[in-house]
Homo-oligomer: A and B are copies of this chain.
Amino acid sequence: MSTTAYHPLTEHEAKQYALLHLNVFPQGAVLHSREIGDGNLNLVFHISHPESGRSIIMKQALPYAKVVGESWPLTLDRARIEYEALKVQEELCPGLVPRLYGYDGRLALTIMEDLSDHVIMRTGLISGGRYPLFAEHISTFLARTLFFTSDLGMNQQEKKLRMGSFVNPELCKITEDLIFDHPYRDADTNNYDPSIRDAVEAIWSDKELHLEIALLREGFLTKSQALLHGDLHTGSIFVTEQSTKVIDPEFAFYGPMGFDIGAVIANLLLNSAAQEGWSTTDEERRSRRELLMQTIQDVWDGFAAKFDSLWETSLIDPMASAPGYKELYMERLLQDTMGYAGCKMIRRVIGLAHVADIDRIEDPSARERARRLALSVGTRLVKGHRKASRFSDFAEAIRG
């Protein structure tokens, strides 16, 4: 591929690049190029060839991040990390991530399948979409990527080398600050609505909660279990009724498995809390929440069953077949999942980055109720996580 020096591409350059360097479009094809990213972290070019109907996505990392008006430098190495994580995920879960067409390290550019026929799951859920195959798909993604990148399912020496190539300090720093630190004190980056100031202050002074957060933070910093996606919220998942595609693994690193599983569940719970605003009747709200709760249970049960089955068929660690070890492993995985789900809910209400599910609710009192609900569910999950031993404990903490 090209070795052009790094610079942000224009729509025209992106089109030229696709013609010159990719084997996707016919020579001399008349292409359309449109930048469709939000411009905060990456440029995203949609390159299409109307004549043949072919199209691709070219994603280029920008050397900075912009969030809520602030801008700070951010390593382009995240494009390499994203590409390498996608490669691992594609190999383990073909069909559950976009197909990869190429990578250009100099330009921090990844070329991949166009998923325009899919919708971002968060947007889909907000509009009341139903994704009957989602739990089946995402539990496969979680079980396979986490098992086969861990010491349970991959050569333990290769795992260490892979860990080295996924050292990702800058993006981990974002998580460490915004999820495991700032929401628990009066930090400048926080971003909460004045209407819930009392609930936010209660969290700042809740020492019992801080101890559990410190433990979960420690797990994020030190538990090198598996190659995580690292940012697996419903904005990183494309869906249709038949298909699920996980995107954007630029936060990938070796961390605790429960962080990825918890991210999925937290975002379903945030949407459930947001039904304060989106459901128009009590009946609709009840039914929507039941569906989301069933999805959460299906995600966990599906994950646990598939992980268990991989353990039976594909375990390579010689000591991991010690009687009782698997059961203990799954119990600690459930606890981590619950704890990290809680962290991810709390930060989406108090911290810098929110979720559209709640923020786009128009009625202020419904929005406030949704926020308070998310905080109280999140707090219960964090506080209860070390006591959980089965999914029903998790479900009970959700219901309160």
A residues apposed to B, CB below 8 Å? 151, 156-158, 160-161, 163-164, 167-170, 172-173, 176, 180-181, 184-185, 207, 210-211, 213-215, 217-218, 221-225, 317-320, 322-325, 328-329
**Roughly how many angstroms separate A222 CA and B184 CA in the complex, as a whole number?**
27
Residues of A contacting B: mostly: helix
* Given A160-B167, A210-B323, 19 extra CB contacts under 8 A: A151-B218, A151-B221, A160-B169, A160-B172, A161-B167, A161-B169, A163-B163, A164-B167, A180-B319, A184-B319, A210-B322, A211-B323, A211-B325, A214-B320, A214-B325, A218-B320, A222-B225, A223-B223, A224-B224
Tell whether, in the assembled complex, residue A215 and residue B328 are in contact, meaning their CB atoms are under 8 Å apart.
Answer: yes
18 contacts between A and B (CB under 8 A): A156-B169, A157-B170, A158-B169, A160-B167, A160-B169, A160-B172, A163-B167, A164-B164, A207-B324, A211-B324, A214-B319, A214-B322, A215-B325, A217-B319, A218-B320, A222-B224, A223-B223, A224-B224
In chain B, what residue has the closest Cβ to A155?
Answer: B169
Contact B213 A319 (CB under 8 A): yes
B residues near A214, Cβ cutoff 8 Å: 319-320, 322, 325
Q: How far apart sit A217 and B319, CA to CA, in the bound complex (Å)?
A: 8
**Do A222 and B325 contact each other (CB < 8 Å), given the known contacts A161-B169, A184-B319, A320-B214?**
no
* Set of chain B residues within 8 Å of A151, measured between Cβ atoms: 218, 221-222
- Please give the distance in Å from A203's CB to the nearest CB on chain B: 13
Assembly CA distance A231 to B196 (angstroms): 53
Quick one: closest B residue to A187, CB to CB?
B318
Beta-carbon nearest neighbor of A165 in chain B = B164
* Contact B176 A168, beta carbon cutoff 8 Å: no
Task: Tell me, in angstroms, the Cα distance from A164 to B77 when the chains sit together.
Answer: 15
A157 touches B180 (CB 8 A): no
